[in-house]
Every structure is written in C-alpha cells, then in structure tokens.
Amino acid sequence: ARRALFTVELVNHNTNRYQQESVVCKMRGSVTPELIVILGSHIDSTAGWFPSSEAPGADDDASGSASVLEILRVLAYSDYVPKKSIEFHSYAAEEMGLLGSADIAARYKSANAQVHVMMQMDMNGWNPRNLNVIALVSNGVTREVNDFVKKVITAYCDWPAREM
C-alpha cells in the first residue's frame, strides 16, 4: 500500500550537450498534493575533466545525494504520510552549469507547479578549513527555511549552523 505513494521518473533533458538523465522520485501528499516540497542534490561530478586534479565526487555531490536518499529511505519505511507532496530530485549536469535543475525548474514553471519549498543538499560535511560548522547558503533563500534548518541542526548536531 505504501508503494502507491511513490512514483519514480527519469527526466531526459533532450540535449546533445550532455547525455545524463535526472531522477525524480515523488511521494504523494494526502491533503494538498498539489503543493510540492523538493529535496535536491546532483548526481554528476567533475571526475575526468582535469586529469591532473582530484575528482571530488564523494563530497560533490555523493554526500548530498546520500542525504536525500537517506531521507527518502526513512520516509519510505515509516508510517509517515505527508500532507504536501515531497519530491526527491537527483539532478544531472549540474557541474556543467546547473543544467538539469534549470531544465526541471523551467518545466515546473511552465506547468504552473506549486513548489512550496526547495532545499538543495550539496557537499554535506565539507569542512576544508576545519571550521566544524554546518554551512547554510544565505543569499537568495527563504529566511523561514534557514531558520527551521538551524533549529534542526541545533537539536541534532554537535556542530553549529552558520550562514555563509
């Protein structure tokens, strides 16, 4: 019965510029399914672009993808049924200029999709200067979302949240 809450779609971006597909898993809401909460990450890497440099795929963005998939796994195996629909996006071609997410955003805009909130998870756990903080993007974001995320971080993490 829970399986009926979920659908999975491969999104072909119809371009010769890149051959990757994005993946969108949807968990249907029970009260206002037309309102969409999106948790996103990207599934491409810079691996192979610069043969003499490191390929940061484990952090950029396997860490964000693992976070999104873990949230999906926990919700899928729980009794939780969301009021709003929740979508789990894994974007293609983000390292090439945010192409997968831009294409999906354009499609949603064209379809007048009602995106309530979107949270992008990218490079979770990145700590290059040993700052031991959880960094939150502070420009172009919804203040209420960042405030909520800070509360979650404070409740469950040893490291503090810091807007960057």
Digit-coded pLDDT (tens) for 56-104: 556 677 888 999 999 999 999 999 999 999 999 999 887 777 888 999 9
Residue 163: predicted pLDDT: 87
Report CA 80 to chain centroid distance, whole Å. Answer: 20
Query: What confidence category does residue 129 fall into, taking pLDDT thresholds of 50, 70 and 90?
Result: confident
- Residues forming a β-bridge with 87: 26, 38
Task: Give the closest residue to 123 by CA, choosing from 138, 131, 135.
Answer: 135
Tell me the pTM.
Answer: 0.86
Total residue count of the chain as it appears in this document: 164
- The yes-or-no verdict on residue 48 having pLDDT over 60 is no
Query: Beta strand pairing status for 114-120 and 134-136?
Result: unpaired
